Amino acid sequence: MSGHDAAHDGRSGLAATALAAMGVVYGDIGTSPLYTVKEVFGGHHPVEVTPDNVLGILSLIFWAMTITVSLKYVVFITRADNKGEGGIMALTALALRTANASPRVLGVLSALGLFGAALFYGDAVITPAMSVLSAVEGLQVAAPDLDRYVLPISIVILVILFLFQRHGTAAVGGLFGPVMMFWFATLGGLGLWNVLKHPSIIAAINPYYAISFIAQNQSLAFLALGSVVLAITGGEALYADMGHFGRRPIKWAWFAFVFPLLYLNYLGQGALILDDPKAIENPFFLLVPAETLLIPMVVLATVATIIASQAVISGAFSLTSQAMQLGYCPRIQVRFTSEREKGQIYVPNINWLLLLTVIIVVLGFKSSTDLAAAYGIAVTLTMMIDTILAFVVVRALWKWNWAYAAIFLVFFVAIDFAFFSANAIKVLDGGWFPLALGFSVFALLSTWKLGRRLLYEKLQKDSVPLEAFIASLATGGPQRVSGTGIFMTAEPHGVPRALLHNLYHNKVLHERVVLLNVVTEDVPYVAEGDRLRVEALPEGFHRVYVRYGFKDDPDIPRVMDLCAAQGLVFEMMETSFFLGRETVVTLPISKRGRMAYWRQILFMWMFRNADTATAFFKIPPNRVVELGAQVELS
């Protein structure tokens, strides 16, 4: 292959990946023009439609997109990849690798990352509700008599969307990119049509208009930021989805296509309302030049919002899976919907909880205008957490000097805080919802992590050292029976509780005993060659160490096959898996422990409803023996 052909193939591959990225990465921010300008000039704190105000708002939108999305996320934060993976979990893992950090600092960083992850679930609820409602509200422009059908149609679309999740996105995923490319082209075309009527609107790119608007309308400008931020909601998603496409395609798609066409649409809406201030009722759909095109535009907008919703729903599934692997979430059922794409998963429990919550949100808020108050606060808080974690990364891992790192932190936190504080005043208007949801999820995740740590410490304290136990067998011990007994254990240097229970009740020990220790690393994937280590011990004992990344799919039978290369061959029909099945009981309410009583109740409920290790690790159920014990958390 010639150098010219290789370069051509490279460009073609980049273009194809950038096209695919449009369908997933930019769906959320790509539907923001449906409601942003409408909320600024016609929402709860409307800005008067004057030439100076329109130029000021459009300038704020441009520089918000430039600084927060282009500079912070595309240029800086996408460089902070955890072996190619992005997102709040990956950024937290990188931040936690800081050298010589105190346990308190690491605890704060971990809590920040966990809370940021919890807020994502609020985004996964509000994005489908807000986006689909905004699109269907276009019917009010096309046919005002259809106003009463907006809510029912929105709920039907959302129900179909969530019902479809179990089939996966592999079948239609190839359509997402081309559809969103057509969507962005349509946005740019509609914007250009109206900009040509008001070419002077392009002057909004000048930051002078943003600064002048803020200086002349201080209180109103502050309130307006709460709606301007809607233009950048979804900007954080491009980092979260980086692992699917890589940094370069995401960067090229943004700068070469998405950003220019998005902003062209905002300019078009600004030009439209300057011509006709009444167009503020729904400036996006009133951009359409002919009434006959309104219904097709509503359909296209609905499809675009479905694609945007699909991205955050899939993100919630992926985040749940990662949280399980990292020990922040109890084991729940995960189904893989594609034989080729290991990242395409479906989590039934999360799907139905999201659907129920989305329907409650739609029925509770009823319109995109009312829902807009709830939309910005979770996103702005997540962006601020991203900035703080990124500061730790650039200072400790990239070795930036304090001056550069401090400039990075102060500059971006000041902007993030301005947007967050503008949204914070809308807490009573609906902003309480994503915060309440975020704190609830944070309580669940942190309680599970703490409870598992206390449970592990309790079991470790009661365990017998393995070396001493094996040494005692040399002087005589229980009867050895044929076959292999595999005992899963979190502490490979102690005797598993299940082994002691089996010995106590059955008075026998297998000829070959394997202690299986599974660890999830803070990297997305572990290479197959680094997956396994087998250590032979006296008296027929073996220790097997298994490592997975937080995006790997645990499969113990597969690991058993890999052991053959290290001299440990298994015959599944002669092998039994012994699993401890602890029952957690709470301390008496009068007895104070290290976990609050309400947390004990919550942990016990989650522990009892978690999926079994048998299903999670794909162990053949007919080869499993479970031995139970009661454990009291201290």
> 557 or 176: whose pLDDT is higher?
557
Nearest C-alpha neighbor of 241 from the set 180, 282, 193: 180
Average pLDDT, the chain: 85
Nearest C-alpha neighbor of 571 from the set 492, 509, 486, 631: 486
C-alpha–C-alpha distance, residues 263 and 196, integer Å: 14
Q: What are the structure tokens assigned to 122, written together?
A: 């609020």
Residues 607, 633 contacting (CB under 8 angstroms): no
DSSP codes joined into one string, 46-87:
PPP--HHHHHHHHHHHHHHIIIIIIIIIIIIGGG--BTTB-S
Residues 169, 337 contacting (CB under 8 angstroms): yes
Q: Is 11 left (phi over 0), alpha (psi -120 to 50) or beta?
A: alpha
Q: What is the DSSP letter of 508?
A: E
Quick check: helix, strand or coil at residue 632?
Answer: strand
C-alpha–C-alpha distance, residues 583 and 604, integer Å: 8
Residue 610: its pLDDT value, please?
A: 84
Of the listed ranges 44-53, 173-182, 421-430, 455-464, the one predicted with least confidence: 455-464
Residues 346, 98 contacting (CB under 8 angstroms): no
C-alpha–C-alpha distance, residues 115 and 121, integer Å: 10
Residue 495 pLDDT > 50: yes
Give the contacts of 35 (CB within 8 A, at least 6 positions apart): 130, 134, 230, 284, 368, 369, 372
C-alpha–C-alpha distance, residues 543 and 160, integer Å: 49
Q: Give tens-digit pLDDT for 126-142.
A: 889 888 988 888 888 87
Q: Give tens-digit pLDDT for 202-249.
A: 999 999 999 999 999 988 999 899 899 999 988 877 787 777 677 888
C-alpha–C-alpha distance, residues 486 and 571, integer Å: 12
Do the bridges between strand 624-632 and strand 508-520 make them parallel or antiparallel, or are there none, so unpaired?
unpaired
Residues 385, 112 contacting (CB under 8 angstroms): yes
Residue 6 pLDDT > 50: no
Beta bridge partners of 580: 627
C-alpha–C-alpha distance, residues 536 and 4, integer Å: 55
C-alpha–C-alpha distance, residues 11 and 412, integer Å: 33
> 307 or 586: whose pLDDT is higher?
307
pTM of the model: 0.83
Residue 8 pLDDT > 50: no
Q: Helices 597-609 and 432-461, interaxial angle, to 10°?
A: 80
Residue 343: its pLDDT value, please?
A: 56
C-alpha–C-alpha distance, residues 130 and 371, integer Å: 6
C-alpha–C-alpha distance, residues 246 and 73, integer Å: 13
Give the contacts of 155 (CB within 8 A, at least 6 positions apart): 359, 362, 363
Residue 589: its pLDDT value, please?
A: 60
Q: Please identify which residue in the block is written with the tokens 């094996």.
A: 470
Residue 545: its pLDDT value, please?
A: 94
Model confidence band, residue 2 (pLDDT cutoffs 50, 70, 90): very low
Residue 172: its pLDDT value, please?
A: 59
Q: What is the DSSP letter of 611?
A: P
Residue 169: its pLDDT value, please?
A: 62
Q: Give tens-digit pLDDT for 102-158.
A: 788 888 888 998 998 898 888 889 889 888 988 888 888 877 877 888 899 999 999
For residues 308-327, average pLDDT: 83
Of the listed ranges 332-341, 518-527, 613-622, the one predicted with least confidence: 332-341
Do the bridges between strand 479-488 and strand 508-520 make them parallel or antiparallel, or are there none, so unpaired?
parallel
C-alpha–C-alpha distance, residues 161 and 288, integer Å: 27
Do the bridges between strand 575-585 and strand 345-346 make them parallel or antiparallel, or are there none, so unpaired?
unpaired
Residue 427 pLDDT > 80: yes
Nearest C-alpha neighbor of 76 from the set 411, 388, 408: 408
Residues 374, 434 contacting (CB under 8 angstroms): yes
Highest mean pLDDT among 278-287, 336-345, 392-401: 278-287
Residue 591 pLDDT > 70: no
Residue 9: its pLDDT value, please?
A: 45
C-alpha–C-alpha distance, residues 431 and 375, integer Å: 7
Q: Give tens-digit pLDDT for 526-544.
A: 888 889 999 999 989 999 9
Residue 193: its pLDDT value, please?
A: 92
Residues in the chain: 634
C-alpha–C-alpha distance, residues 612 and 555, integer Å: 14
Domain ranges of the chain: 16-450, 462-632
For residues 61-87, average pLDDT: 87
Element (H, E) at 314: helix 294-325
16-450 is classed CATH 3.10.105.10 = no
Residue 3 pLDDT > 60: no
